[in-house]
């Protein structure tokens, strides 16, 4: 069902005819976005509804023709003006066809009721259009980048009403209350008796506060609000990037600290280093005691053990064997060597260790010394 709407503008250019009638020219219904309260449009959950009237709808031929000879009333009637009640409600009419005037529709009027003419002369000079239209609740954006919540479609004029906003007060806008014609835009017109007041005041919401200003002021506020929101977003984005970079730096420092701690853990203190040197020397002594010919220079601990096992038991003894097996075999050989305690082997081992530059000569000399000691003892 089409909704009933009102638009209000001021009557101007009045002239009296010889018969006492009053003619006037008014602009009524314009293109663009107007603000309505959500309650009046059946959307109480919305404080303000931005309704868009595209010029293709406002200046549609059928819509323009609906202005022709539309009745003029005193205030908005409780019902639509029809052939059944126009004599009771009518005070004049739109005298000729409506025409386009920029973004507005211009209407030539004639008032024939003496009481209505007197009220206009006394200051009742606001003209409010009563019309029906369909609302398309598809949100969108105008070519100028303005957002809207709904669009008016199929605009049809029923009547034009003379209203007195100055007497009614700002809270008694045409359309407030169930006993009025319908929804009126949240736009305040200036009382022509107060020329210092600006025309076409609008209410805009700024941080939850309702501000009354002109169209130009509203546009400036909207631009400043958008710029502020953009600046706030830029600050938020910059902070997010800074936090991200700081987190990355903290992660990098934490990684370096972990690497330093790992390196520190690998550095031996003097006592541990002495123990490691002693353990190495003991391993070499044991290896030489078991297999004097094994070369230990530059060979790892595991390599020395493996070489000793090979020297005593052959290569097949370590083939496909795990390190643990080789370690255990070496320990067995070491234990056997310790039990035998061969004086000649120990002497050869010590000599070889003492002169690692010529181990064969050292062993030969050690053997000669050992034989000499035995000969001397026997003599």
- Note the pLDDT of residue 357: 61
Percent of residues, the chain, with pLDDT higher than 70: 71
State the Cα–Cα distance between residues 28 and 6, nearest whole angstrom. Answer: 10
| Chain position carrying tokens 């004029």 | 157
Q: Which of 122, 274, 115, 296 is nearest to 192 (CA)?
A: 122
Question: How many residues in the chain?
Answer: 379
Residue 187 DSSP label: E
* pLDDT at 8 exceeding the cut of 60: no
- Note the pLDDT of residue 186: 61
Q: Tell me the average pLDDT across 250-269.
A: 82
* pLDDT at 190 exceeding the cut of 60: no
- Note the pLDDT of residue 360: 66
- Note the pLDDT of residue 182: 62
pLDDT category of residue 169 using cuts at 50, 70 and 90: very low
In the chain, where are the structural domains located? Answer: 3-212, 214-267, 270-378
- Note the pLDDT of residue 3: 57
State the Cα–Cα distance between residues 177 and 352, nearest whole angstrom. Answer: 118
* pLDDT at 192 exceeding the cut of 50: no
Q: Tell me the average pLDDT across 49-57.
A: 92
Supply 252's token pair: 């990098």
How far from each other are the two terminal CA atoms of the chain, in whole angstroms? 142
Q: What is the pLDDT of residues 104-146, one digit of tens each?
A: 888 888 999 999 999 888 878 777 788 888 999 999 999 889 9
Supply 183's token pair: 């929804």
pTM for this entry = 0.45
pLDDT category of residue 57 using cuts at 50, 70 and 90: very high
- Note the pLDDT of residue 83: 94
């Amino acid at each position: 069902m089409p909704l009933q709407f009102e638009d209000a503008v001021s009557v101007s250019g009045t002239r009296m005819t010889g018969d006492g009638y009053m003619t006037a020219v008014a602009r009524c219904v314009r293109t663009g976005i107007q603000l309505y309260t959500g309650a009046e449009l059946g959307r109480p959950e919305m404080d303000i509804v931005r309704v868009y009237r595209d010029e293709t709808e406002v200046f549609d031929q059928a819509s323009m023709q609906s202005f022709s000879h539309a009745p003029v009333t005193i205030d908005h009637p409780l019902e639509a003006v029809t052939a059944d009640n126009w004599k009771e409600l009518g005070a004049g009419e739109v005298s000729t066809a409506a025409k386009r005037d920029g973004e507005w529709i211009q209407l030539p009027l004639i008032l024939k009721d003496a009481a209505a003419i007197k009220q206009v002369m006394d200051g009742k000079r606001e003209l409010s259009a009563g019309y029906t239209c369909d609302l398309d609740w598809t949100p969108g954006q105008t070519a100028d980048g303005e957002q809207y919540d709904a669009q008016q479609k199929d605009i049809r004029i029923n009547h034009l009403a003379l209203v007195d906003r100055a007497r009614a007060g700002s809270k008694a806008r045409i359309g407030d209350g169930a006993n009025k014609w319908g929804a009126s835009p949240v736009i305040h017109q200036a009382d022509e008796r107060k020329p210092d007041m600006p025309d076409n005041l609008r209410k805009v919401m700024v941080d939850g506060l309702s501000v009354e200003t002109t169209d130009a002021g509203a546009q400036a506020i909207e631009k400043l609000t958008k710029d502020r929101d953009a600046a706030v977003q830029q600050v938020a984005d910059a902070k997010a990037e800074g936090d991200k970079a700081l987190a990355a730096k903290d992660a990098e420092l934490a990684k370096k600290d972990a690497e330093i701690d790992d390196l520190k853990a690998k550095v031996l203190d003097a006592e541990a280093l002495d123990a490691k040197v002693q353990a190495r020397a003991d391993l070499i002594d044991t290896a030489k005691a078991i297999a004097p010919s094994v070369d230990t220079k530059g060979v790892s601990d595991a390599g020395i053990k493996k070489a000793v096992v090979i020297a005593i038991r052959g290569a097949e003894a370590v083939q496909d064997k795990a390190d643990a097996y080789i370690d255990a075999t070496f320990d067995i050989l070491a234990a056997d060597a310790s039990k035998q305690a061969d004086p000649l082997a120990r002497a050869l081992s010590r000599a070889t260790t003492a002169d690692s530059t010529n181990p064969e000569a050292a062993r030969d000399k050690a053997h000669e010394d050992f034989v000499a000691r035995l000969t001397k003892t026997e003599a």
